[in-house]
Chain A
Amino acid sequence: MFQYKFMVIAFIVAILLGISLPLLGTTAVYKRLSMSGDALAHSSLAGVAIGLASGLNPLITSMISCVVAFLIIEFIRRKFQKFSEISVAVVLSFALGLAGILSNASNVSNFDSYLFGSILLVNDLELYLVIAFTIVTVLFFFFLYDKIFLSLYSEDEAKVQGLKVNVLNFFESLLLSLVVAVSAKTIGSLVVSSMIVLPIAAALVLKLSYKKTLFLSIALSLISMIGGLVISYYAGTRSGATIVMVATGELVLLLLSSPIVSHFKKKNSSLKLND
């Protein structure tokens, strides 16, 4: 499998996105904006359609449209503070409509490759962008680990403690938009939104600490990415779709095993109390 250069590049991209997507996904999920990945992914499609129709580089127009979409989400979120999911629904609907109209004017086969991704056809620019965005995301989360936690725990208490919550939120969303735009071309816009939510949802089942949930969601994401690629190579299935199926399988497995895990957790804690 690794004798092909495109497979090696596909694995590098899968591993890098397997780290950056759940990192950015946790903040979106905990802010009750888990569908924002979906809205951004659809916005990236609209951007691709604009690029293909106008003759510009679709990756660049896709990144611009994702950033514009996130700015609109943030603007609407502030108008409907108690119903933050409304902002996501509005942008998602608009992006889907725009992508649908503009896709008629674009090269359909090219458009399909953005819909389902083409991780085996990643070019140099896409690879460099994935590497750069992953490094920035990892450094962002490493250095601001505690501040991100505090802003998720309580925005008010974080602000009183002197944290610039709005600035932090802005950079989190900006990074998410850029990573989604690049991921849309590699693993597909329909797959990227799933990979933002599924590993975190699976990790949440075990009710662990914040740190353990973060690391577990990265581990599960990496298993889905690598496992999905290997299975798709041998089974001849679409790589993006297989990755999502593996991630869904992990969630189902953890949901089914959670009663057993919580039984052992309770037994363990009662033993500790007796000691």
Chain B
Amino acid sequence: MIELKNVSFSFEEDKILDNISLVIQDESYIGLVGENGSGKTTLIRIILGLLKPVKGMVTNNFRKVSYVSQTSDNREYSLPCTVSEVILSGTIDSGFWFIGRKEKRQKCDELIKLFSLEKIKNRNFSELSGGQRQKVKIARALASSPNLLVLDEPYTGIDSDSHEMIANLLKTYHKKNKMAVLIITHDKCDLHGLDNVYLAKSGRVEKIKEDIDHVSI
């Protein structure tokens, strides 16, 4: 479980998050929506421990957390690496890389098969299309079998077939592996059937109680 208590964050004079309290329960599937500049990514970065709040407290009891950042956050375009190497990097833990290498490779091969990436597994990651790259990034995030998976607009650049395939895979993984999921999205279709949906607006976050279709994002 992750709990945020009265969290505030400001950058210089601008207040980006104002007194936010939020709980992500174990095994829950949560959506976070909001306009550009509403503080979604800042909130995610605080939840992940990448930013420290100016005020308030964050308690994280999840043992393993995985994060799929927006593509533009990475140096991935310049780094020479294959799809297999990227997915395998998801299994990295505090131990040395050669310990349990066989099992890690096996896990990586399973994900390559699950995401239908066999044909491109030896291709250079930077040469892939935006959609293929997103699939690889999500497969990478699942390689560590996380307790919490955080996805920042994961469907950007993905075609509708792959979108549906990944959404179903995430739901299956969420149920089978008892993994909590926090997803930032602009697409209302991704919010149906979730345990909770939060709307970020003007530095505040509120739980959406009414029908998702009636909320303007």
Chain A interfacial positions (CB closer than 8 Å to B): 30-32, 143, 145-147, 149-150, 152-154, 156-157, 159-163, 204, 207-211, 213, 269, 273
Contact = CB atoms under 8 A, between A and B. Distances in A.
Nearest to B125: A153
A273 B66 contact: no
B50 interface: yes
B85 A147 contact: no
A163 B81 CA distance: 20
B103 to A, nearest CB: 14
B119 A273 contact: yes
B69 A154 contact: yes
Contacts of B86: 153
Contact of B79 (A147, A152, A162): A152
Contacts of A269: 123
A161 B75 CA distance: 17
Nearest to B45: A156
Contacts, number: 86
Contacts of A143: 96
Nearest to B97: A146
B69 A156 contact: yes
24 contacts: A30-B75, A146-B89, A146-B97, A147-B92, A147-B97, A153-B74, A153-B75, A153-B81, A154-B69, A154-B74, A156-B48, A157-B66, A157-B69, A161-B66, A161-B93, A162-B93, A207-B127, A208-B80, A209-B80, A209-B122, A210-B79, A210-B85, A211-B85, A273-B119
Interface string B124-141: 100100000000000001
Contacts of A159: 48-50
A204 B131 CA distance: 24
A160 B66 contact: yes
B interface, how many residues as a size bin?
35 or more
Contacts of A204: 80
Interface of B: 48-50, 65-69, 73-76, 78-82, 85-86, 88-90, 92-94, 96-97, 119, 122-124, 127, 141, 144, 150
A32 B94 contact: no
B92 A156 contact: no
| Residues of B contacting A: mostly | loop
B209 to A, nearest CB: 31
Given A156-B48, A159-B50, A207-B124, 15 more contacts: A31-B75, A32-B78, A149-B81, A149-B85, A153-B74, A154-B69, A156-B67, A160-B48, A160-B66, A160-B67, A161-B67, A209-B122, A209-B124, A211-B85, A269-B123
A154 B76 contact: yes
B154 to A, nearest CB: 13
Among the interface residues B73, B75, B141, B150, which one has the most CB atoms of the partner chain A within 10 A?
A: B75
B92 A150 contact: yes
B149 to A, nearest CB: 10
B81 A161 contact: no
Contacts of B92: 146-147, 150, 161, 163
A160 B75 contact: no
A209 B126 CA distance: 11
A153 B80 contact: no
Nearest to B80: A213
B89 A160 contact: no
Nearest to A157: B67
B133 to A, nearest CB: 12
Contacts of A32: 75, 78
B89 A149 contact: yes
A185 B66 CA distance: 45
Contacts of B122: 209
Closest 10 CB pairs of A and B: A146-B97, A160-B67, A210-B81, A154-B74, A209-B82, A213-B80, A150-B89, A146-B92, A160-B48, A207-B124
Contacts of B79: 30, 152-153, 210
A150 B92 CA distance: 8
Contacts of B94: 162
A49 B89 CA distance: 44
Contacts of B76: 153-154
A126 B73 CA distance: 42
Contacts of B80: 204, 207-210, 213
A161 to B, nearest CB: 6
A31 B86 CA distance: 17
B12 to A, nearest CB: 14
A273 B93 CA distance: 34
Contact of B50 (A147, A150, A156, A208): A156
A147 B94 CA distance: 9
